[in-house]
Structure 1
């Protein structure tokens, strides 16, 4: 079992660009009422840094670890979604929603279907259904269905992230804790977006949304560091 201190020593330096980019975003705090390509770049920069974090492990790492590759692709789609949401008041909110739905499908695929853990799936289904029931009176038109589908997709991602999490015993792994924590933070971030956009103004919503979002993306990216499956499982083993 890899100790947390070992993880910090080995992975911490590679995350320095991400932390710096996140600080730049919060220090500049560019007004959302005046969207520009510069503000889009500043918002997406931490996600680009997480892509670089995975690339810092080598292209061979991505080629031989499908789960890491899927998280990498998910990060790309989420960066595109971030850019669309910069112009959400100009009609691009749905575009951002679709990009993040694709992101969650890639993340769920990376987390895999083993173990299944139907009990956690049932708990998450009840919680996600309750969340949608809370949002439903505030929704209208196409958003009634789009938000429902999105809730189902992100909940599925959360289930797959949490399914393999064991807090005690020999099955405990820090990567699974990172995946589960990241998924929950992502759900919290998106729920805050939905409440603030469709239901009522959430105090300090932007700070809550972006801090939980960046933390979620970092944790999900970290979960890719230890492989979930050997490359041989995909029939890609090297031949002499």
Structure 2
């Protein structure tokens, strides 16, 4: 078996994949930079500020569709990831008016988005040990902010926390970190799920418990990064040339 030749082919394919993916991410990169450059005040929400906030997420939905069109094949669950991103964008819109009675609407929209992510990620392999660890982590984080919550947000954030934990479980369960089964898309989704947990926890602590320094920048930068990494799930597709004999 020509191992060096195989590695060389894999390297060329990875480089070709980067070249094909990078241009499709330009709208996301530009719109993300636009959000941080404009840095519109959240004290005066408007439809323009809502658009600027959700535009990077919408660009990621476009990235998934453009990638599918570009490679000539559709990832089997790409539509579900797109729907998850669209509901996340809707959640961004609601949270723009979060201080005006729409916070729980945003939480619900993001929860539905996670449900679509869960459906896209599937239930195999099961790996219940990861689920148990994440449930304990989720319970601990929710318990930390529980005393700060009022009745209106208590149940909304509880339900959302369950959806986020389940999504993270499926993302981490699918990550394959060794051998010939390595999947960079799956690893990317797993990292994105962990960052999503961090982002949401910082948001909850800052909003309900105690103001944190630079919280808005921390929350939004980690949120956009998490969504981008989750969107990379569609980079996984059958590559018969990379399947080595295993026996």
Alignment of 1:129-140 (within 5 A): 129-140=139-150
Deviation at 1:217, TM superposition (A): 0.7
TM-score relative to the length of structure 2:
0.87
**Structure 1 residues 214 and 185 mapped into 2: Cα distance closer, same or farther (>3 Å)?**
same
Q: Please list the CA deviations of residues 89-135 of structure 1 after superposition, one character each: whole Å capped at 9, or x if unmatched.
A: 11110110000000000011111100001111111111111111111
Q: Is the counterpart of residue 158 in structure 1 residue 168 in structure 2? A: yes
1:128 maps to 138
Residue 178 of structure 2 is matched in structure 1 by: 168
Aligned residue in 2 for 1:238: none
Deviates more, 1:104-113 or 1:8-17: 8-17
Relative to its length, the structure with more helix (as a share) is 2
Alignment match, 2:225: 215
Bigger Cα displacement from structure 2, 141-150 vs 59-68: 59-68
Note if 1:204 corresponds to 2:194.
no
Cα contact 1:78–1:100 (8 A) shared by 2 = yes
Q: Is the 8 A contact 2:186 2:236 kept in 1?
A: no
Q: CA deviation at 1:225?
A: 2.5
Question: Post-superposition, which runs of at least 4 consecutive aligned residues in structure 1 deviate over 4 A?
Answer: 1-4, 58-64
Whether 1:83 and 2:93 are equivalent positions in the alignment is: yes
Which residue of structure 1 lines up, in the alignment, with residue 32 of structure 2? Answer: 22
Q: Is the 8 A contact 1:46 1:214 kept in 2?
A: yes
1:226 equivalent to 2:236? Answer yes
The answer to whether the aligner puts 1:178 opposite 2:188 as a matched pair is yes
| Residues 62 and 213 of structure 1, relative CA distance in 2, 3 Å threshold | farther
Give the CA deviation at 1:66.
Answer: 3.7
Deviation at 1:23, TM superposition (A): 0.5
1:119 lines up with 2:126 in the alignment: no
Name the TM-score, length of structure 1 as normaliser: 0.89
Report the counterpart of residue 144 of structure 1 in structure 2: 154
In 1, the alpha carbon distance for the partners of 2:109 and 2:68 equals 26
The answer to which structure, 1 or 2, has the higher relative contact order (CA under 8 A, 6+ apart) is 1
Secondary structure (helix, strand or coil) at the match of 2:67 reads: coil
1:22 Cα offset (Å)? 0.5
Q: Which has the larger radius of gyration?
A: 2
User: Is contact 1:68-1:225 (8 Å) kept?
Assistant: no
Unaligned runs of 5+ in 1: 229-240
Q: Tell me if structure 1 keeps the 8 A contact 2:21–2:67.
A: no
CA RMSD, aligned part only? 2.0
CA-CA distance at 1:80 after TM superposition? 0.7
